[in-house]
Amino acid sequence: EKFGGDGVIRDMSCGWGGRLIGFLASTRKHYIGTEPSSKTYDGLLKIKEDFGYLGKKVEIHKLGSEVFHPDKESLDLCFTSPPYFNREQYSADESQSFKKFPEYEDWRDNFLRPTLKTASEYLKHDRYLLWNIADIGDGDGFMPLEQDSKDILAEYGLAYVETLKMLMTTMRGVKAEQVKNCCKIEGELQKYEPIFVFYKE
């Protein structure tokens, strides 16, 4: 409702349908989603069918966001949580990005970059892109999914606005320095996942 404008909501990685449910609960009328996983695709179609009585336009395309192209400058909001490289493996389909691009640099250049390029180019002006992604552990450090995403979006002319914090479960007995993204809520240490907000002038 806050960022969606009046038109098309684009979800580049539908997953299990959480954002689709959010769209259906909103006042927005048109959703375009892509999801290559055969494991979740049928469930997305079931959600679409079950809520068809709402009269909203829902498009679900069974392919990866790196190869999907909508009409140029047709999107009012891009909002998704992409796979965190090989951390989130929804299925063993060869169309899954971690299967197609098994090395991080390859995944960054051939999945992450074209996904963000398309979203940036096809987003209308004076509109937002919300990107929920977090770095993942890599030995003693982290794979830089967050910074790589920010850098790519900056290259394509989107301006960083703010980071929303999506709280996860309370982490008892875990030291703050062991977790990259955490904050204290009423004295309790909680992990959060960042949702980066970008704006296209």
Long-range CB contact pairs, 22-31, < 8 A, 24+: 23/56, 23/58, 24/51, 24/54, 24/56, 24/58, 26/1, 27/1, 28/1, 28/4, 28/56, 29/56, 29/57, 30/56, 30/57, 30/58, 30/59, 31/56, 31/57, 31/58, 31/59
pLDDT at position 162: 97
- Does the pLDDT of residue 47 top 90, yes or no? yes
**Does position 165 have pLDDT exceeding 90, yes or no?**
yes
Per-residue confidence (pLDDT) for residue 52, from 0 to 100: 97
| 3-state class (DSSP) for residue 154 | helix
- Among 172, 177, 178, residue whose Cα is nearest residue 190: 172
pLDDT for 142: 79
Specify the pLDDT at position 103.
Answer: 85
pLDDT surpasses 70 at 60:
yes
Residue 41 has pLDDT above 60, yes or no: yes
Mean pLDDT for all residues in the chain: 87
Give the residue, 123 or 37, on which the prediction is more confident. Answer: 123
**How far is the C-alpha of 72 from the C-alpha of 69, rounded, in Å?**
8
Check pLDDT > 70 for residue 101.
no
Q: pTM above 0.85?
A: yes
